[in-house]
Chain A
Amino acid sequence: MSDLTGLSVSGAREGLAKGDFTSLELTEAHIAAIDAADGLNAFVSKTPDLARERAALSDKRRASGEAGLMEGIPIGVKDLFCTEGVLTTAGSHILDGFEPPYDSTVTANLWREGAVMLGKTNMDEFAMGSSNETSYYGPVLNPWRRPGDNRSLVPGGSSGGSAAAVAARIVPAAIGTDTGGSIRQPAAFTGTVGLKPTYGRCSRWGIVAFASSLDQAGPMARSVRDCAILLRAMAGFDAKDSTSVDTPVPDYEAALTGEVTGLKIGIPAEYKVDGMPGEVERLWQQGVDWLRGAGAEIVDISLPHTRYALPTYYIVAPAEASSNLARYDGVRYGLRVPGERLDDMYEKTRAAGFGAEVKRRVLMGTYVLSAGYYDAYYLKAQKVRTLIKRDFIEAFEKVDAILTPTTPTPAFAVGERVDDPIAMYLNDILTVPANMAGLPGISVPAGLSDDGLPLGLQVLGKAFDEETVLRVGHVLEGAAAFDARPDPWWRAD
């Protein structure tokens, strides 16, 4: 592998600006790295020709004196983002052959800022999963393995392909989406940085919908700074998304001052969940010590409704999903399995097109919205959601940011939890509350578990205060100085 594949976004930006290499060279290096990493199964579609074409155009723009925020930097794009003329599957069989005639607002923003697409990354089907094992295109493997143990581990999910690609250094950065932890959890499992912005910060237009009130796009990279650079290029008000918020997008890099002196950091008692391994607790305490050492004030806080967040999430998200996925009916695009009659066609198409986890969630969602159950489940869940939001509002009257672990455990083995949905769902117990409240959160790699796997710390912030989240994350990153790397077992060259 050439040195170019190890570059961060900011490093690539610098090298391109200085003329050390061209976007085409940088892109070619990553195309080769991706080809050599097929064993990870991180991509559903590779788009090398398109990448070369766009890289060449980027080099021309730069030559003519134009350069966007992401000019010439190649990235991976989760296959949930619609990309014009490029197969978009959402990790599902039911979108077979679907090539959207449009780009999502977020990808369009990135292309406008000069980013180059390397391909579409693998993911849990319709973003439903925490291990990337529900993809129709097969599981993504985590570049990390336990030292001395050849068993494959999951990269987390649902943005597992993006996380694995970033961790394996076959892309400088990638974008993902986070509905219940789908950016932060895989970032934690792969030793990378993942940021879920405030709900409404990035447009949802053109992103295949999972749960509309929770979905949010965000950056995944190997440093907090890189996430800051990407977020600025992705974010912004979009009149095509009624839930997008019209507020200025700041220069997030400017927030990376390295300073947290005087900031109040909340430590929520309720995040110390039952059975949390000692290594995770110890890392959390380490994070507390780092921030205190950097001059932050540590404040014990309470988020009393935390334990209801996960069950509530598993009512709200499937309810919305059951309705959002109704459009995949075999009538207009994607898979169609012919049937005798209309209902027959619907049933055959959806039976063949959706995997088990998607079916499970569509069934759950349909159930909780059904007459006679709506009040007990969906309506109740909405009320609890309001309480969860209120917990955060009250907490943020006392603190500037909240520090928690990202996940209760490090990455687990492929196949280990596929038959136990509840155990799988419990993965998201620490990430889901931020989605329920619409708040920004970042996962920063902070250390290794006892068996040598990455663990992440999560920083949550106030709505539209990604700057504080990034600032605190940046300080943690510096303190942790996480420089462990997976052994490149997947490399085919």
Chain B
Amino acid sequence: MATIQGATGEWEMVIGLEVHAQVTSEAKLFSGAATAFGAEPNTQVSLVDAAMPGMLPVINEQAVAQAVRTGLGLKAKINLTSVFDRKNYFYPDLPQGYQISQFTQPIVGKGVVTLDMPGGERREIGITRLHLEQDAGKSLHDQHPTQTYVDLNRSGIALMEIVSDPDIRSPEEAGVYLRKLRAILRYLGTCDGNMDEGSMRADVNVSMRRPGEDYGTRCEIKNVNSVRFVQQAIEYEAQRQVDILEDGGTIVQETRLFDSNKGTTRTMRTKEDSHDYRYFPDPDLLPLTLTQDYVDEIAKSLPELPDEKKARFVSEFSLPEDDAGVLVAERERAEYFEAVAQGRNAKLAANWVVRDLVGALNKAGRGISETPVSAEALGGLLDLLSDDTISGRIAKDVFEEMFATGKVAAEIVEEKGLKQVTDTGAIESVIDEVLDENTGKVAEYKDGKEKLFGFFVGQVMKKSGGKANPKIVNEILRGKLGD
């Protein structure tokens, strides 16, 4: 819980998020037009999307299945009857003059998302509802000095609006919630979660209250398109509201816009100017009815979701909670890990994936899908490590090389002659050399300066180019030094 300390006492943040997630589907919600990102303006527009006279919407079954799938993934109630309503308002990028949405009877009801906060706290964020709706087109104001251009490619694309309960208490929680929601959607394959391409956007509701008291008046910040911006918007908005309240003012319920350049929010419209959307059931569409069998069939095809996967990694592989959390944050990452761990030491595999691979990818600004080191290749490296072909230290170097060149471990080890020396005779002769060159230190050691043991090991390793098996070095050295 994040609180803001004002002169008159503490203030608690109350945050709710409405996430608009683009449904992964080949066609739009009510037309057969394509939905690919980045197409030339107005090339993915059907007669229905352009609201030509006499055109009628027909529900896309794939979008319905995706919404149900998402609802199940959010452990939510699936409403077997739901209704599409018209939300009426005028705007050039809204050709019909109304958006088809679901108002009083959404397809998905109450659900929950569990957050694992850093530090181990577990928070449950309630899902109020999920409904299907059409996206609008896009107004382009920068193409002409006095006119606005309209691109209808997005017009009619299927969105899921996922509304959280006002259970979020800090910008940090909001970030964890968004990432978790995104992970769930991506596991389910119902939304690609790509915020840059507008596949996920959030409306952020923020209000302040004295801890334990009733909710205060909220402001809604529209259309924020990254996790970082959501957090910045909350920070700014919370402080703005506290400043007003501390001065004895009252919060005006309004819709605000986030300015990502300044990190501030400003008034878009107040409640007095808010639209009267005149919602009513769309008479072109019958109520959407599903059977329980249909829902059960979709439930059967649900993948293992992050929470379940994490619990299994902890119990099955004895991984630490934190590592398991990092591994399941992305479905591809978890799958990668499981491929590496298959038939190998899972803890070792987890360590390498969490620290080395994810670390290197983050540094390179890449996602797991763009990794130059395949799961098979990393497995090959771990095999060389496990059978003592290379030492742990060499393995790190080999990994770096693999990451940089895409070569497999065995090839690098072979090329560079990095195989660990396990020949005791060869190691012994190196040790003898080291001891001969350092007779003074040998004497000191024998006089009780036992810390020097590490120095001898280091010298041996250096002389062997890091290739001597450390275990064998230790054994022989101890013998020679008369332990």
Contact = CB atoms under 8 A, between A and B. Distances in A.
Interface of A: 81-82, 88, 90, 95, 98, 100-102, 104, 204-209, 211-213, 239-243, 319-320, 322-323, 325-327, 329, 331-333, 342, 346, 366, 369-371, 374, 378
Interface string B257-292: 000000000000000000010111011111000000
Given A369-B88, A374-B280, A242 B97 contact: no
A98 B55 CA distance: 14
Given A323-B278, A332-B95, A366-B278, A242 B51 contact: no
A212 B50 CA distance: 18
12 contacts: A82-B52, A98-B53, A207-B54, A242-B58, A242-B285, A242-B286, A323-B86, A326-B96, A327-B51, A332-B52, A346-B90, A366-B278
Given A212-B284, A374-B280, A378-B280, A323 B88 contact: yes
Nearest to B98: A323
B280 A82 contact: no
Interface in B89-110: 90, 92, 95-98
Contacts of B56: 204-205, 240-242
Nearest to B278: A369
A217 to B, nearest CB: 11
Contacts of B283: 211-213, 243, 320
B368 to A, nearest CB: 42
B59 interface: yes
Most buried by A among B54, B97, B283, B286: B54
Contacts of B280: 319, 323, 369, 374, 378
A242 B92 contact: no
A118 B295 CA distance: 51
B481 interface: no
Contact of B54 (A208, A239, A243, A374): A208
Contact of B53 (A208, A213, A326, A374): A208
Most buried by A among B50, B88, B284: B284
A332 B51 contact: yes
Contacts of B47: 101-102
A95 B424 CA distance: 95
Contacts of A371: 276, 278
Contacts of A100: 52-54
Interface string B222-264: 0000000000000000000000000000000000000000000
A331 B150 contact: yes
Nearest to B275: A371
A188 B211 CA distance: 72
Given A102-B47, A326-B88, A327-B95, A370 B278 contact: yes
A354 B86 CA distance: 22
The 8 closest A-B CB pairs, nearest first, are A326-B97, A212-B283, A369-B278, A213-B283, A206-B54, A327-B51, A208-B53, A371-B276
A142 to B, nearest CB: 28
Contacts of B59: 242
Given A242-B286, A243-B284, A82 B54 contact: yes
Most buried by B among A205, A327, A371: A327
Most buried by A among B59, B148, B282: B282
A357 B56 CA distance: 25
Contacts of B198: none
Contacts of B279: 369, 374
Most buried by A among B57, B90, B280: B280
A107 to B, nearest CB: 11
Given A88-B53, A240-B56, A327 B285 contact: no
B52 A333 contact: yes
Contacts of A81: 54
Given A82-B53, A212-B282, 8 more contacts: A82-B52, A206-B55, A322-B88, A326-B90, A326-B96, A326-B98, A332-B95, A374-B278
Given A331-B92, A369-B280, A240 B58 contact: yes
A96 to B, nearest CB: 13
A342 B90 CA distance: 10
Contacts of A209: 53-54, 284
